[in-house]
Amino acid sequence: MEVYISAAILAEPTLGQILDGTNVPEYLNGVGIIPGIKVDLGTERFLNSSETFTKGLDGLAERLSKYKEQHPALKFTKWRATYIIGEDMPSGTALLKNANDLASYAKIVQDAGLVPIVEPEVLMNGGHDIARSNEVTENVLTYVFRALNTAGVDYNGMILKPNMVTPGSEAEKAGNGYVGVHTGALLKRVVPSEIAGIAFLSGGMGDEDAAINLGIAAESAHDYGFVPRVTFSFGRALLQTPLQLYAQGNTEDAQKALLERARTCLEASQGTVPANNFRYSL
């Protein structure tokens, strides 16, 4: 797995779990996978609104100090903010609050000597088309980078984890080419070239679509002259089928399916648009 996956995002309860006589962060570090930790404390709704902001800034510096002392193998953190597309949404309040909190988080993490993953996710929920998704995602990222710049965050020492530009889950599906090209062009327009890298989330896409869209987005970003590394930080698109196979008691095929998807996504991140070659599936 370490050939295809360079890092793993852990939750706090996982830190103390034991594998082969050591805790999970040390175990991962020993096999060549960099461990990091999710440090946000989930979302809360704004008063009288369906929009959310993310909790966890209070006491973050102290928590980071504790994590580093107890688990020195940890090298990075992750914080997620979510945005809803709807009538008059995302609002200016949601855009500004989440951007400022993401920037404050990133600065605290860098001051602690760790690398922040900044995750502003425009959710797929809704019936909006790809043009609306593109508009909102660009607006979100513009707010985020304005806040990061104001906070003095070092772009060379952070990773951006954005959504790809897709139509809403209730809208007509867009072709993979449209998703990839829109996404690649957006990176070039909005994301500073100094940033260390982009690690796309899969955001509810299936494993095949996520891999194909990643490949086209990486190829498109390169064609537009976007220099930073484009890669993946997938959850469902890597794990959904392997977990279902595992739940059926098919451990060997579950492991093979995970390895197969990881390899395909790595190849896609290098600009190779994959065909549907997932042999191990349900």
Catalytic residues: 119, 161
Angle, CA of 95, 112 and 18, to the nearest 5°: 100
Which one, of 267, 246, 266, 269, lies nearest residue 256 by Cα?
A: 246
Rg of the Cα atoms in the chain: 19
Residue 147 in contact with residue 120, Cβ under 8 Å?
A: no
Beta bridge partners of 197: 159, 229
In the numeric block, the tokens 């920037």 are attached to 103
- Say if residue 90 is preceded by a cis peptide, omega within 30 of 0: yes
Phi then psi for residue 201, to 5 deg, are -90, 160
